[in-house]
Amino acid sequence: MPSADAAEWELPRLRASFLFQDDYRSSAPDDEAGNQDLAEFFDVKFYPYNPQGAPPVFAATSKRHDDENCASCWSRDPVTKEPLLCIAGTSSNIKIYNVRQGTLAKTLVGHGGGINDITTSPDNPLIIASASDDTTIRIWSLAPAHEKQPCLCILGGESHSYDLLSVAFHDTGRYLLSTGHDQVINMWALPEFPTEHIDVPVVFQYPHFSSSEIHNNLVDCVAFHGDLILSRACHEDSIVLWQIEGFSSTDPIPGPLDAPTPIDMAKQTRSYFTPTLSPARPAMFTRLAQFHTPDCGIQFFLRFRMFRVPGKRPILAFANAKGKTFFWDFERFGEYARYMDALKEAKDAGRYPLVGEGAVVPKPVWLPVRRVKKANTTSNSFVQSTAGDGTASLRSFAAMSVVGGGGGDKESMVSASPDPESHPALPTSGLGYNRETLEAWAETYDATDPVRYIKAHRMVQIEGGFVGRQVGWSPEGEWCVVVGNGNRAVIYQRWAKEKGTATPVA
């Protein structure tokens, strides 16, 4: 039965929007000071290791400083447990600062090009990964035993051909995603890293999954959602949720020699987890859903962030190039499907009323009913019978049936669905709600069609030409921060004691 607690389902609301001081501009020549691009944040991360209930702390990374930093992640001193902030950018080095002492603790050197993303292993705060313009990913250790050789592993070879933009760990810390300008998304199975000193890093030539078919342009953000994957590409105006067929993080982890090699250079997807296609497994990956992110234009380096903590609702957040921030609550998809199924079961059993006061199936508080005017007395604004007696309910994101792809190899599949530009199918028939209401619900909460764009569950507009570059979530999910151009940070909050709307800074 749907929960009636509105606070339980609350999505972030705007609390403040402000500008940080631009240190660069104050010292820049007059001709440079007039350039609005001088001030821009490209990353924001909350410190994840504070005890529960502690005030959340975040760091925003600006590209306009001495090293043009654009990426950051947090770690902890292995001895004192003091917070360490890792910063990277065009210098090709990673600088690690002790935040409490305000000192540079160490510098990691090894990449041959700028670094566009760094991330900390969720399994070990002393392990970080970096993605570089030199087309490699490096795995680093901050453990004292690796002081002389902090680089444990290099993921390179022929896996990528152009600048990398995004890297992400699996929750287990044993799998890693990488992607960038070449539109290839790779997944690497990582070994158990040594706890003692090593003389040289281990080099891996091939990933265990590789595909250039998921997107048609450069990919600037990728992340795990459990064993599923979220990714977005420039010009596509959507975030795609998909899965690698045959992959399960509970299975034994493959070794480096298990990685498939590119024997057939024309093959755009290769996978250890589905080495050959068969009627039982006709694809190497499956698209599950697309979340609509309009108005991104020609901008890239626009990054989403998923709040995902055990026992709490997963929420996806993304800011576009026109000042809009979008939120999706993933638990609403399953709740919506269960509600629609319960409505149909009640109708079939003759249990009434279905809607309004005393409804036999309580409606979720976040499902609004659209009020529409009837054109004339003969029109019927309620849903009539449609072909078919219902729809597939969403228990989880899963493909329902196969659509053959182009070419000889069917390396991907999606659920069978109509053209995304066609009129959306209504979720079911004769349930007491008007057509406009059911269509609006389906466009926002029906995730059974991987072709149709899913609209945001909440959209917040920020005025002033704001381009959102990165989203950060506090560890407990109460706060969400978006940073971007103009040295601006936009702060959202859930479960605020006092509701209010902040005035954006012009």
Domain ranges of the chain: 67-250+283-303
Task: Give me the half-sphere count of Cα atoms (radius 13 Å) on the Cβ side of residue 310.
Answer: 2
* This prediction's pTM: 0.86
What CATH class has 67-250+283-303?
Answer: mainly beta
Q: Which residues make beta-bridge pairs with 242?
A: 229, 287
* Cβ pair 84, 108 in contact under 8 A: no
Q: What are the φ and ψ backbone dihedral angles of 332, each rounded to 5 degrees?
A: -65, -30
The number of residues making up the chain comes to 506
| pLDDT at site 382 | 31
* Rounded distance between C-alpha atoms, residue 87 and residue 117, angstroms: 9
Strand residues in 348-427 grouped as ranges (E): 412-413
| pLDDT at site 412 | 59
What sign does the dihedral 96-21-132-210 (CA atoms) show? positive
| pLDDT at site 100 | 95
3-state secondary structure 223-277: EEECCEEEEEECCCCEEEEEEECCCCCCCCCCCHHHCCCCCCCCCCEEECCCCCC
User: In which element (H, E) is residue 435 found?
Assistant: helix 435-445
Spans in the chain with pLDDT lower than 50: 1-2, 4, 26-28, 30-36, 376-410, 415-420, 422-424, 426, 428, 499-506
* Rounded distance between C-alpha atoms, residue 340 and residue 356, angstroms: 15
| pLDDT at site 88 | 96
A 10 A CB-CB count for 60 gives 20
pLDDT tens profile 414-467 = 533 334 454 445 454 568 899 999 999 999 999 999 999 999 999 999 988 899
CA distances for 232 relative to 184, 221, 316, 420, angstroms: 12, 6, 13, 18
* Rounded distance between C-alpha atoms, residue 404 and residue 195, angstroms: 47
Q: What are the φ and ψ backbone dihedral angles of 24, each rounded to 5 degrees?
A: -65, -45
| pLDDT at site 21 | 66
User: In which element (H, E) is residue 175 found?
Assistant: strand 175-180
User: In which element (H, E) is residue 469 found?
Assistant: strand 468-473
* Rounded distance between C-alpha atoms, residue 118 and residue 102, angstroms: 21
Structure tokens, 250: 């509970």
Structure tokens, 318: 């993304």
* Cβ pair 439, 424 in contact under 8 A: yes
